[in-house]
Amino acid sequence: MAGFFQESEKAKTRRMRNAAERFLSRFLIRKGAVEQAFLQMVILLKGDVPVVTALETTAELAKGDLRMALYETADLVRGGLPLAKALRQTMPWLGDLFIGLIEVGEANGTLPQMFTYAANIMRQRRTIRNQIIRAMTYPMLVVIAGLGVGYYISTVAIPKIISVMGDPEKLPAITRSLLTTSEWLQAHGLFVLLAPVAAIATYVLLRRVPGVGLAIDRMALAVPIFGKVGRFSANALFNHTMAMLVKSGISVVDALDLIRGTLDNGWYRIQLARTRTKVMAGRMLSDSLNDTALRKLTPLTPALVKVGENSGNMDEGLDYVGEYYGDALERRLDLLGKLIEPALIIVVGGMVAYVYIAFFMGMAAMSAAAR
């Protein structure tokens, strides 16, 4: 009976998915699960396991939509389709960078190495993303908690307290201002709470407008303190990824094209496109970088690329720059946390102090009037 249920479950997951299921899989499959699957593929392929068998074995170890996608990929490869083309059908959201690496591995017989490079790039991107998330989580929680507590005090607690203080005109100015603030928040408090959500939604929508989005991305890199976080994270990702692509044997022109699609900042993408155009025209990569804004965005890269062009070890220089900017990003996030924490304490503490002072001065005024 147990075997019947296992076969039934396998039949459910081993089938060709429809277009809607493939589209939704990009949201249902965790990037960490894909990274783990790629590492498992490396082990199996290094052990001379055939690609189809490796895909099926990895699928058995996976769960949910990823298992379905891997089984589907295995069936397409068994039918004669190259692995890279099969992945473009089953998991197109992997992007040109990772599928391009696998395509190169199929062409030159280095598939295990290409899966390793792909998994390493995923790990580096995950590390950078987690660093930023960790640095921003505490401030965001404090802001949300502060807004919630402030809304509750202003709209629920204060009106009940003020109601026993008598005539508002006889209260101190600070107490009257607290009462006015409370009345305003009762009328507009919901809009205040929704304002951060509206601001984020507006930002996301504006970034999708070609000209406006590019201007926003360019200005974001110049914002004090926060701008360096964006530059350092983009620099670390660009240099590490470029190093792995060059090491894998992909041409500089193709590498620049693949990297361009992985960066979130539109201004960086524009500069990479300009760099690629200059390289295609016959310029050296170091000179092409120096002729674009990347010379200022990542100033160490052109110098070490030039050394690598002369010595033949360009990937090592790019790796050094990637490590430097990765360390710089970690230090900048640490500094950002140290600056945000006391600022939030001052703001939240100031709000609490304002409420208490206004309340006790009102109570003192009421006691004096009662004598």
- 61 and 145 assigned to the same domain: no
| Structural domain contains residue 107 | no
- 146 and 281 assigned to the same domain: yes
- 212 and 338 assigned to the same domain: yes
- 182 and 64 assigned to the same domain: no
| Structural domain contains residue 26 | yes
- 83 and 144 assigned to the same domain: no
| Structural domain contains residue 323 | yes
Residues 110-130: b if buried by 16+ CB within 10 A, e if exposed: bbbbbbbbbbbbbebbebbee
Give the pLDDT score at 43.
93
CATH of the domain at 272: 1.20.81.30
With contact defined as beta carbons under 8 Å apart, do 272 and 260 qualify?
yes
What residues make up the domain containing 52?
Answer: 2-94
Give the pLDDT score at 370.
61
Q: How many CA atoms lie within 13 A of 349 on its CB side?
A: 6
- 136 and 90 assigned to the same domain: no
> What is the domain count for the chain?
2
- 233 and 186 assigned to the same domain: yes
Give the pLDDT score at 55.
94
Model pTM above 0.95: no
Distances (CA, A) of 2 to 5, 6, 59, 64, 175: 5, 6, 20, 20, 72
Residues of the chain with pLDDT under 70: 1-13, 161-170, 369-371
* Nearest-angstrom CA–CA distance, 5 and 181: 63
- 258 and 317 assigned to the same domain: yes
pLDDT in tens, 141-164: 777 777 777 777 777 777 776 666
Nearest to 317 by CA among 305, 326, 309, 325: 305
Give the pLDDT score at 7.
46
- 86 and 146 assigned to the same domain: no
Give the pLDDT score at 182.
77
Give the pLDDT score at 312.
80
| Structural domain contains residue 122 | no
| Structural domain contains residue 117 | no
pLDDT in tens, 28-75: 888 889 999 999 999 999 999 999 999 999 999 999 899 999 999 999
| Structural domain contains residue 216 | yes
